[in-house]
């Protein structure tokens, strides 16, 4: 289930995305997403769109979101 999310984020938002934790656990994953932009506002908009995209998968339960910015 992770592959469609990762590929969708890369394709739709041109963001860097990778599974960063829980690779050894079944049915659990942690994704890291990074965006580079000329303005903080645009980067924030892209990250919000990425979050909405992930939430759009009904079979995925999002248990947390961490903003490092």
Question: What is the predicted pLDDT for the residue at 12?
Answer: 97
* Total-model pTM: 0.84
Question: What is the predicted pLDDT for the residue at 34?
Answer: 95
Question: What is the predicted pLDDT for the residue at 26?
Answer: 73
Question: What is the predicted pLDDT for the residue at 47?
Answer: 94
Q: Residue 51: which of 11, 14, 5 has the closest Cα?
A: 5
Question: What is the predicted pLDDT for the residue at 22?
Answer: 65
How many residues in total does the chain contain? 69
Residues of the chain with pLDDT under 50: none
Tokens 């829980």, located at residue: 22
Tokens 């908009």, located at residue: 45
Question: What is the predicted pLDDT for the residue at 19?
Answer: 87
């Amino acid at each position: 289930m992770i592959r469609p999310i990762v590929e969708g984020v890369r394709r739709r938002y041109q963001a860097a995305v990778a599974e960063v934790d829980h690779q050894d656990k079944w049915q659990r994953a942690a994704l890291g997403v990074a965006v580079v932009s000329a303005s903080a506002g645009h980067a924030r908009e892209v990250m919000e769109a990425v979050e909405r995209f992930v939430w759009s998968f009904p079979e995925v339960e999002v248990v947390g979101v961490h903003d490092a910015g």
